[in-house]
Homo-oligomer: A and B are copies of this chain.
Amino acid sequence: MIKIGIFGATGYAGYELVKILERHKSVKLAFVTSQSLAGQWLDELYPQAPHLLLIAGETAPLNEVDVVFLALPHAAAAQTAVAALNAGVRVIDLSADFRLKDVETYEKWYGVTHPAPELLETAVYGLTEFARSQLPDAQLVANPGCYPTSVLLALQPVLAAGLPLVGPLIADSKSGVSGAGRAPKQNTHFVTVADNFAPYKIGRTHRHLPEMEQGIAAWNAAAPPLIFSPHLLPVPRGILSTIYVPLAGSPDEAELRGLYEKTYANEPFIHLLPAGQLASLAHVIHSNRCAIALTLAGNTLILTAAIDNLVKGAAGQAVQNMNVMMQLDEEMGLV
């Protein structure tokens, strides 16, 4: 049994981790922490949660665990990662702290000095489908952001194929409200959200942009800039990204589909939809799947990609990464 600790178990991603790990056959949950709610029980916050005592992060017994998951705010996560690694514990970090390889980019977008830039080089960016070979030896995994997961999984085959692109990539993404976090704010008040739909931070201003462009550049150095338009959907969970890829020449739909089939043929969590179907939240809610569909309109490849932001976009992918890291069946706890 792998012994696990969760830092930040009261946020939505942290609680989703608890739910997944509770039914995972090969792990044992040793502790769950909360900064602001230490001393309370998790089921005081979530009525279906197991009866677990929340402890303060500082008091967490790192010597009793093999792996920790960090569902903490950025900067706090990096500090905890250092402590855990120093204690010989492997780390899967759901924050943004180790996703960007370039420390200046991180500091510009997140507005803080990076607490542990020396770890950036060895951290593995855990988009599982493309990180498998690195995970078994990883001490530190940077779990991808929710929006980037949907966008990068959808783009990888067409980008990696090196087809020429003739204009910006556009990702028009829509996310459920859990993506905005559990802390109550005016913009997550039920009365603000219900019956509404609103874009925010569109263009090139959202923090997930550099993370996506880093992934894009890794697969296709010649790729054009990305335009990213997030919107807030009146649903609790789920992300749908509608992505526009402007191809040169006369792209062939069957050929494009072939790229995706080849890439994702044996992927348990990628659900490539047949021609004529489109991805929707209903394809993925409460699952670790990413549903992807291709539609060709003239020279533009339109990708629709859906994930559950808390599962494949956070806790599920984190457990998928742990499974690969610990050489367990990749699907354990996730189906």
Chain A 286-307, CB within 8 Å of chain B: the 1/0 string?
Answer: 1101010001111110101000
* Residues of chain A at interface, number, CB under 8 A: 66
Say yes or no: A168-B238 contact (C-beta < 8 A), given A174-B197, A233-B197, A280-B196.
Answer: no
* A193:B196 contact, CB within 8 angstroms: no
A12 at interface, CB cutoff 8 A? yes
Say yes or no: A182-B191 contact (C-beta < 8 A), given A203-B302, A297-B202.
Answer: yes
Say yes or no: A193-B190 contact (C-beta < 8 A), given A203-B295, A204-B298, A242-B229.
Answer: yes
- B47, B172, B299: the one contacting A283 at CB < 8 Å is B47
* B197:A238 contact, CB within 8 angstroms: yes
Say yes or no: A281-B196 contact (C-beta < 8 A), given A177-B190, A295-B203, A296-B203.
Answer: yes
* A281:B227 contact, CB within 8 angstroms: no
* A295:B202 contact, CB within 8 angstroms: yes
Say yes or no: A280-B204 contact (C-beta < 8 A), given A168-B246, A190-B188.
Answer: no
The 10 closest A-B CB pairs, nearest first, are A203-B297, A198-B280, A184-B184, A167-B167, A172-B172, A190-B193, A47-B283, A177-B190, A199-B278, A196-B282
Residues of chain A touching chain B, judged by Cβ–Cβ distance below 8 Å, are 12, 46-48, 166-168, 170, 172, 174, 177-178, 182, 184-186, 188-200, 202-204, 225, 227, 229, 231, 233-238, 240, 242, 244, 246, 278-287, 289, 291, 295-300, 302, 304
Q: Give me 17 other A-B pairs in contact (C-beta within 8 A), A167-B167, A198-B281 excluded.
A: A47-B283, A170-B244, A174-B174, A174-B197, A182-B189, A190-B190, A190-B234, A195-B238, A199-B279, A199-B280, A199-B304, A202-B297, A203-B295, A225-B298, A227-B244, A231-B242, A234-B235
